[in-house]
Amino acid sequence: MSAPRFLSVDVGSVEPELGAPAPDRLISGDPVFRTWNIEERDGGLYAGIWEATPGKWRIEYDEWEFCHILSGVSVISEDGGEARTVRAGDSFVLRPGFKGIWEVLETTRKEYVIRL
């Protein structure tokens, strides 16, 4: 039987993966990540929900990522660019080569689609 063609993004359907920033990227706090990877396709396509508790760390993107903030407040600062505050309802794309800082002020949950 083939996989269904309609897939709900439901955090109750998969166990979350727990994580944290790499120690050499951590700036402050003790953030904890939970990731519900709902879809993973050959060719490097991922979709799901990610959540982080307060803290601040360096980020570097080799991949393309679409994000839609579901809850919380974070500040994303691009090296050499401006800081942007994102909150529930905001959507944005981080392109390959993006480098900067992600600071979670209030536990933040986002929907994501990543393309490697």
CA proximity to 77, closest of 42, 103, 38: 103
Instruction: Output the pLDDT for position 1.
Output: 63
Q: What is the pLDDT of residues 28-81, one digit of tens each?
A: 999 999 999 999 998 899 999 999 999 999 999 999 999 999 999 999 999 999
CATH of the domain at 90: 2.60.120.10
Strand pairing of 83-87 and 17-19?
A: unpaired
Q: What is the pLDDT of residues 2-36, one digit of tens each?
A: 778 888 998 888 999 999 999 999 999 999 999 99
Residue 1 lies in a domain: no
Residue 28 lies in a domain: yes
Residue 8 lies in a domain: no
Taking the C-alpha atoms of residue 87 and residue 62, their distance in angstroms, rounded to an integer, is: 24
Domain housing 86: 16-115
Taking the C-alpha atoms of residue 116 and residue 53, their distance in angstroms, rounded to an integer, is: 25
CA distances from 87 to 14, 30, 31, 91, 95 (A): 25, 21, 18, 9, 19
Residue 11 lies in a domain: no
pTM of the model: 0.93
How many domains in the chain? 1
**Alpha helices, DSSP H only, in the chain?**
none
Instruction: Output the pLDDT for position 113.
Output: 98
Residue 4 lies in a domain: no
Residue 53 lies in a domain: yes
